[in-house]
Structure 1
Amino acid sequence: MSTLPIAAVVFDMDGVLTDTETIWDEVRRGLAEQDGVAWPEGATQAMMGMSTPEWSAYLTTTVGVRGDPGERTLEAMAARYRKHLPILPGAVEAVQRLAARWPLALASSSARRLIDTSLETLGITDLFQVSVSTEEVARGKPAPDGFLRACELLGVEPARAVALEDSSNGLRSASAAGMRVIAVPHKAFPPADDALALADVVVGSLDEVTVDLVAGLGSSDVSRPPR
C-alpha cells in the first residue's frame, strides 16, 4: 500500500468547534417569524455550508425574509455570541493536540467577524496558521472552494490534508476538494446518509480525533469502517 503522509488538518467551525448550528437556526427562524412568513421544510439543512450571499439570497427568495437578511442575521448572531458562545466538548483540546503535530487551517461558512470572535473567545487564534471565511471564496459549501483555498494558503496538496466536518454540505465540500474526511456528526442536525458515506472515518466526538487517528489516514487506500 503506497503512503501519502498527512501534512495538514483543516477544521470546520460551526458544528465542529462551536455548537452554533442551533443558534443559526433560531436566529433565521426568528427573522421569518418577525416578517410573518412560514419556515419551509428543509430550509435549515439547505443553508448549512452556504456562503453569506448564498444563504442571504435563499432567505429572501425561498423563505421570504424582508430587507437585508444577511446583515440582520449577522447582527443577531454577533449579539448572541457576545452573550454566550457554546463550545462543543473536546474542541479546544482537539485543536491543541493536532496543532502540536500539523499546521492547522479553518475553512468556515461563517462571516469573518464571527470567525475572529469565535477563535478569540476559544483562545485558539494562534493555533491556526490560516482561516478562510465564506466571504473570501466564490462559492460556499458543498463547493470545495473554501477547503481548496485553505490548502493553497498552507501550501499543502488537498490529498495530504484532513478535513473535520459535521454537515452534509461540509462533508460534500471536503470530499470534492479531494481531502481525507473525518465526520463529526452534529446530533441535532445529522448529515444525510449519502454525505456521511463520503467520510473516511466517522467519530462520535472530538475526543476520538487523536493524532494516531489522523496520521492513520495518510495512505492511498484507507478502508472505511462499517456504519
Structure 2
Amino acid sequence: MTFSPRTDDHWEGVEALLVDFDGVIIDSEYAHYQVWRDAFSAHSLWLSTDAWASHWAAARGHGSKPPITAVLEKRLGAPLEDAEELAREVRQKYRALVASLPARRGIHDWLREAAAHQVRCAVVTDGRSDHVHAVLDRLRLTELIETVTGRDSNLARKPAPDAYLAALEHLGVPAGQAVAIEDSPHGIAASRAAGLRCLAAPHKITNHLLAPGPGTVIIDPATMSLDRALALLARPRHTAMASRRSGEDVLRRIRGSLTGLALGDAMGKVIDKRTAAQLDAETHALLDAFAEGDPPPGLFRGRITDDTVLTLAFAKAITATGTVSRAALEDELRAVNPNGGRQIYKLKAAAGPLYVAEDGNTNGCVPRSATLGYLYGPEEVGDLAYDVLKTVTLTHAHPDAAMAALVFAIVVCHAVAGNSPHDALPTIRSALPHLIRLVGGGHAVAETIMEYAARLEHDASASACADQLEQTLGMGVVARSSAVSGIVLGLSGLPPRQLLPHLFRRRSPGDLDSVAAIYGALIGAFYPETVPTAWAAVIEQYAGISFTDIARGLHQVRTKDAR
C-alpha cells in the first residue's frame, strides 16, 4: 500500500480570496492606536487597547461617532486648546508610521499560496484605493492582487456588504466560491452579509472582539498555512457525538472485538508459549478444528489470561462510573487478580492516592485499551489519546508501550465506527508528531506499524504474514515486538480461521496469547462475523460473563451525551 497524498478538497470551489487591507495586509489598526496612545500619554493619561477598541468599534455602520479627541477631553475634564490641530498632528505621525509598516506576518505567504492554487485575490477595504495601491507596490504584493475595491467607489462602508458585492461582480465570482479575510467585527459582518465564508484574523486591537460562528473561523496567518486555514473553514463544527456512531452495528462490533480479544487470548493460553515443534497431537488437532470451523474440542477450556482479565476489569469500571475515571480504574486494577500481569503487582504494592508507573515496556497495557477505543469516534482522537495515556501510566512508563496502546486504540475506534482496516492509517500518520510529544517518544512503534501494514496488505497468505513478522519483529513480550505484530495482523484483514492456526505454530517461543488477543480485538471489530460463536461461548461459560452484556454497557457509555 502507498499512502495517498493529502487531498485538497477544501480548495475545491474556492475561486477568489477577498482580503481586507487595514489590519490584515498591514497592522495599521495597531499603528493608529499607538499614535493616539502617545497623544493621551502627553496629557498624562493612559489609553488602553480595550478603550481604543471600544471607541474604534463604536457605532460602526450606525452614523458618525464622536472623535477620539472628544474622548480625550472627557478624560481630561476640560476642552483641548486646539482639538483639530492635535488630530492633524496625530494623522501625520500615523501616515509616517504606516509608510514603514511591513506586511502582516504570514500574509505574503498566503497570497502566494492562493496564486499557486489559481485562486484570484482582491482587496476589499474602506480605505482609499490609491493609498492601498501604493502600499501594495512598496510591499511587492501588487502582482498578487487583481483588483482593489476601496472607499473611492462610493460604496457604503462595512458592515454593509456593498464593497464585497462589488468585488465579486468585478471578478465574476459567485459569493459561494469566495472566501474573505477580515480582522474586525464589522468586516466579518460585511463578508457574511455578502454570502462569503470568512477567515477571521484578529490582532492586538480586535482579539477580544471576534468570535467563531457559522462560516467563520479564527485563524492567524503567522502560525498556519492558508491550506490549513481553509481546511478548518471546511471542517464541520464539532458537536457532542457528531462523529460517534451508535446503534446495533456499533454494539455488534464492540461485542465482536471483546470476543475476538478473549478468543485469541484463550487459544494462546492453550499454546502456552510452546513452539510448533513442541505442540502435541491434541493441540494440533485443536488448531485444525478451529481452521475447519468445527466445534471446540475438550482441550479448549476457555481459560483467559491477564489480557482479557484486565480488559474486563476496565470494562467493569467504565460501565460502573459511566466515564473513564483513572481513580476507578486504579482501584479496579489494585483489586483484580491479574492472572500473571506483572506490572499490576507493582501498582498493588504502591501506596498513596496517585501512582504513576516507573517502568514497563511490555504489551500489557495494550489489549485493555480497546475499551477506550469503543467509546470514541475517529474524529475524537485527542480525547481518546488523553484517556489512553492516563490509563497506560497506571502500569507502563515506556514510550513504546504507550504508543502501541495509542495506535491500537485509534485503530479500534475506526473499526467500531465501521471503517476499513486501513482508514486508521492516515489518522495515525497525521497525529503522529503530536502523539510522540504526548508520550515522549515511541515513533519507531507507530512507523513500524504503518510500514508493515502497507507491506502485508496484498499478501493473501496467513502463514507468510506470521512468518515475516516472527522473523523481523519477533513476538516477545515487549510492546515493540508483540504489540506491533498483533496490530499489524489486525490491519491485515485476515480472518481468524486462516490466521490463528498459523500464528500458533511458531518456530520460536513468544507471547502469542497477547499477539492473538490484540489481533482478535481488531479483527473482531472490523469483521464481527468472523469470530466463531461456539468457541466464544466456552469462554463465557468459563469466565461467567456475557460478552453481549459487557458490550451493551460500554455502548451505553459511548452514547451518553457527555462523559
TM-score range, shorter chain: 0.7 to 0.9
Structure with bigger RCO (C-alpha 8 Å, 6+ apart):
1
User: Once the two structures are superposed, what CA deviation does each residue of 1:152-183 show, in whole Å capped at 9, x if it has no partner?
Assistant: 21121222210011222211111111101111
Closer, same or farther: CA 69–123 of 1 in aligned 2, 3 Å = farther
- The CA deviation at 1:215 is 7.7
1:140 matched to 2:157? The reply is: yes
| Counterpart for residue 163 of structure 1 | 180
For residues 122 and 72 of structure 2, the distance between their equivalents in structure 1, rounded to whole angstroms, comes to: 33
More strand by share: 1
CA drift of 1:141 comes to: 1.8
CA-to-aligned-CA distance 1:111-140 (integer Å, 9 cap, x gap): 334312221121011211111123434322
Equivalent residue for 2:35? 27
Q: Does structure 2 retain, via aligned residues, the 8 Å contact 1:201–1:224? A: no
Structure 1 residue 37: Cα displacement: 9.6
Partner of 1:197: 213
Amino acid at match of 2:226: T
Say if 2:23 and 2:203, in contact at 8 Å, map to a contact too: yes
> For the residues of structure 2 that align with 1:58 and 1:198, how far apart are their CA atoms?
34
Amino acid at match of 2:109: E
Compared with structure 1, are the counterparts of its residues 38 and 54 closer, same or farther at alpha carbon in structure 2 (3 Å cutoff)? farther
Matched, 1:80 2:97: yes
Question: Structure 2 matches for 1:80-159, cutoff 5 A?
Answer: 80-82=97-99, 84-100=100-116, 101-159=118-176
Residues 85 and 156 of structure 1: CA distance in aligned 2, closer, same or farther (over 3 Å): same
Query: Greater CA deviation, 85-94 or 27-36?
Result: 27-36
> 1: CA distance between counterparts of 2:27 and 2:14?
27
Match of 2:148, SS?
Answer: strand
Uncovered stretches (5+) of structure 2, i.e. residues with no partner: 1-11, 74-79, 240-563
Given that 1:8 and 1:104 are in contact with CA atoms closer than 8 Å, whether structure 2 keeps it comes out as: yes
1:181 aligns with 2:189: no
Distance 1:23 1:5, change over 3 A: same
Whichever residue aligns with residue 15 of structure 1, its letter is: G
TM-aligned CA deviation for residue 188 of structure 1:
4.4
The question of whether the paired residues in 1 share the 8 Å contact of 2:199 and 2:216 is answered with yes
Give the aligned residue type for 1:145: D
AA matched with 2:20: D
Deviation at 1:22, TM superposition (A): 1.0
Equivalent residue, structure 2, for 1:44: 53
RMSD value over aligned CA atoms? 3.7
| Displacement of 1:104 | 0.8
Once the two structures are TM-superposed, the CA of residue 192 in structure 1 deviates from its matched residue by 2.4
2:23 maps to which residue?
15
Between stretches 146-155 and 61-70, larger displacement belongs to 61-70
- Write the letter of the residue equivalent to 2:29: E
> 2:18 corresponds to which letter in structure 1?
V
Deviation at 1:59, TM superposition (A): 4.2
Alignment partners' CA distance in 1, 2:52 and 2:44: 16
- In 1, are the aligned partners of 2:19 and 2:181 still within 8 Å (CA)? yes
Q: What SS does the corresponding residue of 1:196 show, helix, strand or coil?
A: coil
Structure 1 partner of 2:305:
none
Report the CA distance shift for 1:44/1:99 in structure 2 as closer, same or farther (over 3 A): same
Aligned length: 216
Letter in 2 for 1:224: R
Give the structure 1 partner of residue 492 of structure 2. none
The one-character-per-residue Cα deviations of 1:24-80 (angstroms, maximum 9, x if unpaired) are: 1123445667799996974534435969x957x644776678338886665433211
If each structure's helix is expressed as a fraction of its own residues, which one has the higher value? 2
| Structure 1 runs not aligned, ≥5 long | none
Question: Kindly tell me: are residues 202 and 116 of structure 1, through their superposed partners in 2, closer, same or farther at Cα, counting changes over 3 Å?
Answer: same
Shift of 1:94: 0.9
Q: Cα distance, 1:200 vs. partner?
A: 2.9
Helix, strand or coil at the partner of 2:84: coil
* Alignment correspondent of 1:214: 230
Residue type at the aligned position of 1:153: H
Is the CA contact (8 Å cut-off) linking 1:6 and 1:215 kept in structure 2? no
Query: How far has the Cα of 1:198 moved from its partner?
Result: 4.8
Contact 1:137 1:146 in 2 (8 A): no
TM-superposed CA distance for 1:92, in Å, is 1.0
Distance in 2, matches of 1:44 and 1:181, equals: 21
Query: What SS does the corresponding residue of 2:189 show, helix, strand or coil?
Result: helix
Structure 1 pair 201/44, CA: closer, same or farther in 2 (3 Å)? closer
Q: Are 2:31 and 2:98, in contact at CA under 8 Å, matched by a contact in 1?
A: no
> What displacement does 1:95 show?
0.7
Amino acid corresponding to residue 205 of structure 1 in structure 2? P
Cα deviation for residue 146 of structure 1 reads 1.9
Q: Which moved more, 1:16-25 or 1:206-215?
A: 206-215
Give the structure 2 partner of residue 224 of structure 1: 237
Letter paired with 2:212: L
Calculate the TM-score normalised by the size of structure 1. 0.74
